[in-house]
Amino acid sequence: MKIANGFFAVIFLVSAAIQHNDPDPLLWMSIYGYGALICTLAIFRKDSRILHYAGLAVFVSYAVYLFFIHNGVYTWFSLHSAENITGSMSDEKPWIEATREFFGLLILSFALLLNLIFRKQRKGSTSSYS
C-alpha cells in the first residue's frame, strides 16, 4: 500500500500544482493537497481514521453536489451523451468543469477508501497506528 500511497501522493501534488489557473484555485489546491497529505501520512503510518472519514465526507458530498447541479455531471451524461471531456473548456460546454471536478473527487475518495480498507486489515499490527 506504500507504493499506491506514494503514487497517489505524487498525483495529488501535481494536481494541486496545476490548479493555479482554475476558476477556484484555492479550493482545488486545498482539496488535492489534503489528499496528498493523507496519502503521505499513511505511508509513514501517521494518519488517523478521522482524517480519512473527514476527507471522504467532504469529497463524496461535493461529488454528489457536482453530479446534480445545473450543467453538472447529470447534464453531461443525459443531455450530452457523455461526450468527450478531455478537450478545452468553453462557455458553450459549462458541464466539462463540473464533470472533471467530479471525477477528481472520485479518485480522491477511492484513495482514502483504499487506505481505510487496508488500515482495518493492519489493525493491531502496531499500537501507534490509530
27 — pLDDT class (breaks 50, 70, 90): very high
The C-alpha cell of 57 is what? 465526507
Asked if residue 100 lies in contact with residue 24, where contact means CB atoms within 8 angstroms, the answer is no
As a whole number, mean pLDDT of residues 79-99 equals: 66
Three cell numbers at 33? Answer: 493537497
Q: What is the pTM of this model?
A: 0.84
Q: Domain range spanning residue 11?
A: 2-122
- 127, part of any domain: no
Q: What is the pLDDT of residues 40-88, one digit of tens each?
A: 999 999 988 999 999 999 999 999 999 998 888 878 767 665 566 666 6
Is residue 63 one of the residues assigned to a domain? Answer: yes
Give the 3-state secondary structure percentages of the chain, helix then strand then coil, rounded to 5: 70, 0, 30
Cell numbers 509513514 correspond to 44
Q: How many domains does the chain have?
A: 1
Residue 19 is classified by DSSP as G
CA pair distance 123, 73, nearest whole angstrom: 37
> Would you say residue 130 lies in a domain?
no
Taking the mean position of all CA atoms in its chain, how far away is CA 107?
Answer: 5
